[in-house]
A = this chain, B = another copy of it.
Amino acid sequence: MGEETAPAVFVAADIVILTIRRGDFEVLLVRRGKPPFKGELALPGGFLEPGETVDQAAGRELREETALWAKDARLEQVGVYSDPDRDPRQRVVSVAYAAMVPDPPEAAAGGDAADTQWISVERALNEPLAFDHRRILTDAVEHARRQLEYTTAATAFCREEFTVAELRRVYEIVWQTKLDPGNFHRKVTRIEGFLEPTGETTTRDGGRPAGLYRAGTRRWLQLPLSRPDRS
């Protein structure tokens, strides 16, 4: 490794906290109270503190914002953003995370609730966002869409016990597509380790009672759930 010309920089973790609320794909943003970008929307995030890893910093930020522990969400690295001018104050290298969390993030927003808000992903992408956070949001959303295809991450958007139809709605909302209920049911229940039946049923969605499931232990799908009409 080289040595002396290297400047020390600040490292931050920025989190794209995604959820499904009111049939909508939403992200948690904070309104900045001080410069730079004062008054604009930004992703929650914070600097790396002494003695912690970046993953731990992300988990800490997630918990401060949503009162959720990292293990209850699906918290994954999306990428590193290091343009020299991305922060006008000083050099900041940011590690971006995508957090997929269930709907009512128990206690919707943590300490400084006043300036945090859930907002539709689609709308957020049309707002001005602070720093390079629009790019980060774009990448994290694409990351999440792919995760649904190749992994069991969709269960992270559901409450602890959920029906197959609720899981299907996650796919439909994140992918913005319609899926055949019958075929979807067959497919996900046949994949071993994806869903664990609880034996209970619920009628909370109306109609015939639906079986309840918990997330299984499998994380990767060998055959992906194909997303219609890819390019």
Q: Is the interface of A mostly helix, strand, loop or mixed?
A: loop
- Among the listed B47, B77, B224, which residue makes an inter-chain contact with A1, where contact means beta carbons less than 8 Å apart? B47
Q: Is A9 engaged at the interface, CB distance under 8 Å to the other chain? A: yes
Q: Are A9 and B46 in contact (CB under 8 A)?
A: no
Q: Given known contacts A82-B53, A224-B224, is B6 in contact with A93 (CB within 8 Å)?
A: no
Task: Number of A interface residues at 8 Å Cβ cutoff, please give it.
Answer: 38
Q: Given known contacts A8-B8, A220-B230, is B2 in contact with A46 (CB within 8 Å)?
A: yes
**Closest B residue, CB atoms, query A64:** B2
Number of copies: 2
Which B residues touch A230, using CB under 8 A? 220, 222
Task: Beyond the given A48-B93, A80-B80, A150-B150, please list 11 additional residue pairs across the A-B interface where CB-CB is below 8 A.
Answer: A2-B46, A2-B49, A8-B9, A8-B10, A9-B11, A11-B93, A53-B82, A55-B82, A93-B93, A222-B226, A223-B226
Residues of A that sit less than 8 Å from B by CB: 1-3, 5-12, 45-55, 77, 79-80, 82-84, 91, 93, 95, 150, 220, 222-224, 226, 230
